[in-house]
Structure 1
Amino acid sequence: MARILAFDYGTKRTGIAVTDDFQIIASGLTTVNTKEIFSFLTNYLKNENVELFVVGEPKQMNNQHSESEQFIKIFIEKLKSTFPKIEVVRVDERFTSKMAFQSMIDGGLKKKQRQNKALIDEISATIILQTYLSNK
């Protein structure tokens, strides 16, 4: 089997999570400056076999897309055109940032560590990926 990559896309930073080869465990991979995401992916895909991209779908409580959806759609189109053999699916990402922050508290991270937005993005991507795996 191949890995699955998940993205918590942001205009500044994008959190990335990955599965193991058997697609059982979701783990945080990294957080990348969004301007560098495609060069990162090109290098990553040279060494790893990835069969699916999972992209968070930000929605508001009324089920409408959030304002960031316009940027995510552009990202997805570029993802599809740059890596046409890899399917892209969406997963509702409501509350992932809050869940990520809570998991940091539960994990005993100190206040200074919990202010690391890059870590929150990476954990959010992991939650998005775990949600996908759980619903698969």
Structure 2
Amino acid sequence: MSSSLPGRILAIDYGNKRVGLAITDPLQLIASPLDTIHSQDLVKFVLDYHQREPLAAVVVGMPRTLLNEPTDSTSAVVGLLRRLRRELPAVPVHEIDERFTSRLAKQAMLAGGLGRKARQDKATVDKVSAALILQSFLESPFANDSPDCRHW
């Protein structure tokens, strides 16, 4: 399901060092890897991107364990969610379960014919993971326009 607001939807696969990013097409139908950036540059990147290309929503992967419990990274992502909601009050910021996205990204890259070196490149894995997070959001029956939508 996509946002009812016009614009693209941005997905974030947050890591302490790197952040994978993915974006939809303007019709919010297709999720594509966008970029990998340093974590400290994330909020500025999102704000700058929103100035150039209005965002309909932001989707952030929420790290959870297999038992659906918080991980060491969860508190950093919760802080990121708060900051994005404060900096972008008119843009819904959703969180969605990101379990298995790195593994699925590597499998998708293998199925897509990428060589071993490309599949081992963490920056590539991060942005493909973000695309999987975004595609999951687009297909999710749980997604709606509520800024605190949770799918975990």
Same fold (TM over 0.5): yes
Partner of 1:6: 11
1:52 aligned to 2:49? no
Cα distance in 1 for residues equivalent to 2:27 and 2:8: 7
AA aligned to 1:131 is: S
1:134 aligned to 2:139? yes
Match of residue 38, structure 2, among 8, 20, 33: 33
Match of residue 42, structure 1, among 47, 50, 53: 47
Partner of 1:125: 130
After superposition, give the CA deviation of every residue in 1:38-73 in whole Å (9 maximum; x if it has no partner). 221222111101011101011111111222101101
Match of residue 108, structure 2, among 82, 103, 109: 103
Runs of 4+ in structure 1 deviating by more than 2 angstroms, as ranges, are: none
User: Shift of residue 114 of structure 1?
Assistant: 1.2
Give the unaligned 5+ runs of structure 2. 1-5, 142-152
Greater helix fraction, Structure 1 or Structure 2: 1
Match of residue 69, structure 1, among 54, 65, 74: 74
SS in 2 for 1:46: helix
- Count of residue correspondences: 136
CA RMSD of aligned residues (A): 1.0
| TM-score relative to the length of structure 2 | 0.86
Identity of matched residues, %: 40
